[in-house]
């Protein structure tokens, strides 16, 4: 028995969240650089409420899969997992998260629907059998370490709490400049941008972090070749490793090429942060023969349109 008890109890589950209000789209809020810290804070506080401890459950990653926000959870103690399941079953977690989102996002109400899964098991169908739920969660070992973005947001939350007593608006500003991965596009001229140059067609250009303007131009003009560019970027970007690119193609098939390309570059920017530079994108475009688009991004097409 002693030997068994020395092995840590670790399990994993996915919490699916969706707003029942058509005007509130959780993935869009989470993908917004201004709102992301607020949504994260609400998630963190509600999960802490559910287990009675800030460290009762760990968020490993937050996935945006319209219309759901999917939170990958890791439990390191059976009693914490049990408390979480009780809170979930009784609706306390749902109520807590609705309240925290309402406060964090300064909205009148944020109605939610929740679903809990572990592997292929829908735990909502077996909530009365707590031991079976625990068994399903324990069987699912986490398949990843905590995402870098979550670590960044944790740090941001700490600084928010520290600064809140000074000035609420300042706290949000501190958070918005927090970084790179979770909050795309550090401001131009930001000290985060690496001051290095690169060569394109014999000319020297200052390397810089990608901007919203680069992002939109790329999405608009890359057309069907967005996947090839993604595969070139994938070589140095773990967030674009297989099957991410194929999943984006399926997920945004209805929205068309612009949205597929936009989401691809968004993943790159969110994952690489200040390292998501124009030099890396230009190299990927060159590799795929997209010289005209590269010239457009570097401002070499005076006022002409890029074909």
> Which DSSP string corresponds to 216-230?
HHHHHH-GGGHHHHH
CATH class of the domain defined by 197-298: mainly alpha
SS in 3 state form for 52-117?
A: CCCCCCEEEEEEEECCEEEEEEEECCHHHHHHHHHHHHCCHHHHHHHHHHHHHCCCCCCCEEEEEE
Q: Which of 119-128, 200-209, 221-230 has the lowest mean pLDDT?
A: 200-209
**Distance between CA atoms of 100 and 157, rounded to whole angstroms?**
14
Residues of the chain with pLDDT > 90: what percent?
64
pLDDT band at 146, cuts 50/70/90? confident
Distance, CA of 240 to CA of 250 (rounded, Å): 15
Distance from C-alpha of 116 to C-alpha of 138, rounded to nearest angstrom: 14
pLDDT of residue 145: 87
pLDDT above 50 for 302:
yes
- pLDDT of 274 higher than 60: yes
Please tell me which residue, 3 or 157, carries the higher pLDDT value: 157
Backbone dihedral angles phi then psi of residue 173, each to the nearest 5 degrees? -65, -45
pLDDT one-digit tens code per residue, 207-247: 899 999 999 999 999 999 999 999 999 999 989 998 999 99
Domain ranges of the chain: 11-151, 197-298
Give the CA distances from residue 126 to residues 68, 118, 132, 236, in Å, rounded to whole numbers and listed in that order.
Answer: 22, 12, 7, 43
pLDDT for residue 230: 97
> Which has the closest alpha carbon to 59: 44, 69, 45, 79?
44
**Please, what sign has the CA dihedral across residues 229, 233, 235, 239?**
negative
Q: Does 143 have pLDDT greater than 90?
A: no
Average pLDDT for 145-160: 83
pLDDT of residue 195: 44
Band of residue 48 on the pLDDT scale cut at 50, 70, 90? very high
11-151: CATH class = alpha beta
The confidence score (pLDDT) of residue 157 equals 79
Q: What's the full length of the chain, in residues?
A: 307
What mean pLDDT, rounded, does the chain reach? 85
CA–CA dist 93, 83 (Å, integer): 10
E strand spans, 149-283: 197-200, 203-206
């Amino acid at each position: 028995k002693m030997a068994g008890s020395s092995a840590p109890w670790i399990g994993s589950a996915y919490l699916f969240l969706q707003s029942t209000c058509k005007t509130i789209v959780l993935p869009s809020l989470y993908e917004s650089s201004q709102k992301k810290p607020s949504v994260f804070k609400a998630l963190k506080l509600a999960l802490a409420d559910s287990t009675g401890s800030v460290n009762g459950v760990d968020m490993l990653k937050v996935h945006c899969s319209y219309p759901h926000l999917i939170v990958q959870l890791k439990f390191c103690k059976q009693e914490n997992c049990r408390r979480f399941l009780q809170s979930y079953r009784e609706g306390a977690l749902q109520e807590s998260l609705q309240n925290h989102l309402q406060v964090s996002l300064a909205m009148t109400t944020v109605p939610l629907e929740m679903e809990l899964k572990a592997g292929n098991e829908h735990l909502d169908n077996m909530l009365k059998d707590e031991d079976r739920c625990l068994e399903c969660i324990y069987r699912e070992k986490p398949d990843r370490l905590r995402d870098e973005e979550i670590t960044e947001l944790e740090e941001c939350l700490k600084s928010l709490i520290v600064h809140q007593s000074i000035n609420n608006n300042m706290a949000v500003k501190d958070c918005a400049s927090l970084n790179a991965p979770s909050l795309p596009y550090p401001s131009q001229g930001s000290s985060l941008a690496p001051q290095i140059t690169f060569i394109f067609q014999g000319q020297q250009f200052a390397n810089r972090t990608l901007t919203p303007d680069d992002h939109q131009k790329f999405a608009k003009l890359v057309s069907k070749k967005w996947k090839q560019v993604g595969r070139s970027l994938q070589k140095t970007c773990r967030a674009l490793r297989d099957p991410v690119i194929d999943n984006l193609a399926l997920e945004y098939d209805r929205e068309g090429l612009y949205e597929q390309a936009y989401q691809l570059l968004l993943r790159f920017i969110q994952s690489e942060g200040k390292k998501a530079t124009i030099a890396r994108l230009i190299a990927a475009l060159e590799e795929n023969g997209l010289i005209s688009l590269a010239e457009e991004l570097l401002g070499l097409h005076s006022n002409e349109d890029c074909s």
